Amino acid sequence: MHVVTGGAYNGKKVWVKETYSSQLTDKSLWFNCYEETCPIHFSFDRSHFMIVIEGIEEALRHFLKREETGSAKEFFHLYVEPLLAWEKADDKRQCVLIGTDITKGLVPMDKEERKWRDETGRLLQLCVSEATDVTIVWFGLAQTIKGGKS
Amino acid sequence: MLTFLCGGVRSGKSSYGESLAVKKKRDEGRLIYIATAVKTDEEMEERIAHHQHKRALEADWHTLERPYHLLSLIHEIAPTDVVFLDCLTTWLSNEMFFQSSEKVQTAAVKERMMKTIDQLNRHCSELFIISNDLFHEPVAEEESVRQYVQLLGEIHQYIVKKAHVAIQMEHGVPIYWKGR
C-alpha cells in the first residue's frame, strides 16, 4: 500500500496519476471520496489490479457522521484492512491511498470537526504504519519518507 | 532566477529570504521590495513597521507598495535588480477581494497573476516570492474561502514548477525541495 499525503491543493492526485499512469487502466478502480456520493465501503473484486482511494479523510468524515461513537481504528479495521488483504493476495495488486493532511491548523471550534481532525491524524498513522511506501507531495514535488521502490 | 519560499506564520521565511536576496544583490543593481500588504488596522501597521525597520538595518532596500496590479511596476524595475515579493497570499486576496464586490473571476485572476510572475521574473536578475502555508487544515466550507485556498495552491504549484529554488520554512529551518 502506498500512502500519498500533503496539504490540500498540493497536486497529490496529479502526482499519483503520473506515477502510476501505466497501471491506471480499465483494470483499475478509482474512488473519489470528495464526490457527493462518497463511497465508504470500497467494493472491488479479483479482476482489479489497482485501487486508488482519493480523499481517505473525507471517507472517514462520512463514517464518523454515521457512526457517532466511531473511531479511526474502527474505520481502518472495516475499510482499510480488506484493501490490505486484497493487495497481499497477489503481487501484481497495488493500493494507493491519497489523504489530505488536515492536522496542522487551528483547533476547530466545532466538536465534530475537532473529532474528525483528531481521528484523521490517527487514521493516517495507522495507514502509514501498514504502508510499504509513503510519499509527501509539496506543490507538485514529492518526497518519499518510507519505502520508495518505485 | 526564481526562488520560492513558503512556510507558516512566523516561520522566519521573510528573514531567511531577505538574507538570500541580499547575497544576490549586484553592485549595479538595487534590492527592490514589493510590499503587497495594505494598512488596514493598527496591528497590520505594526507588522509593516517591524518588517521595514528590520530591512533598513540589514541593507539598502527600495520599497514599492502595490496591493494589486503588480504588472504596472515593471517600468520601475531594472534588469540588474533583485526583486523581493512579500507576499503572495496578500497579493492574491487583494486581487480577489480588494477591488470590487463583483463575483470573482478565479480563472482570470490566476491567469493574470501567473503572467505577472513570468514578466517580473524575466525583467529582473533575481525574483524571490514569499508565501504562506495554509493547506494543512480542513478546507473552509465557505465558497470564496475555498476558492482562495484552491487558487493559492494552484499558483504555488505553478511557481514551484518554474522555480530554480523552492524552500519550505519550518520554524526557521529551510527545507530545500528544489535547487540549493
Condensed to tens digits (0 to 9), the pLDDT of residues A95-107 reads 999 999 999 887 8
> Cell 496529479 appears where?
A14
- Name every chain B residue with its beta carbon within 8 A of the beta carbon of A105: 134, 136-138
Instruction: Examine the pLDDT at A27 and tell me if it is beyond 90.
Output: no
User: Is the per-residue pLDDT at A63 higher than 90?
Assistant: yes
The pLDDT of residue A149 = 64
User: B166 and A104 in contact by Cβ < 8 A?
Assistant: no
Which of A104, A108, A139 is facing B136, going by the closest CB pair? A104
Backbone angles phi, psi at A11, to 5 degrees: 90, 25
Q: Which CATH superfamily is domain B2-178 in?
A: P-loop containing nucleotide triphosphate hydrolases (3.40.50.300)
Q: Assess contact for B174 and B130: CB atoms under 8 A.
A: no
Q: A138 and B153 in contact by Cβ < 8 A?
A: no
Mean pLDDT of B83-100: 90
The pLDDT confidence band at residue B102, using thresholds 50, 70 and 90, is confident
- At residue B114, the pLDDT reads 97
pLDDT of residue B164: 97
Peptide bond into A127 cis (omega under 30): no
Q: What is this model's ipTM?
A: 0.85
**pLDDT over 90, % of chain A:** 83
Contact residues, B window 6-45, toward A, CB-based 8 Å cutoff: 6
A8 touches chain B (CB under 8 A): yes
Alpha helical stretches, state H, B25-170: 42-58, 88-93, 106-123, 143-162
Domains in chain A with CATH codes: 2-146 (3.40.50.300)
- In this model, does residue A86 exceed pLDDT 80? yes
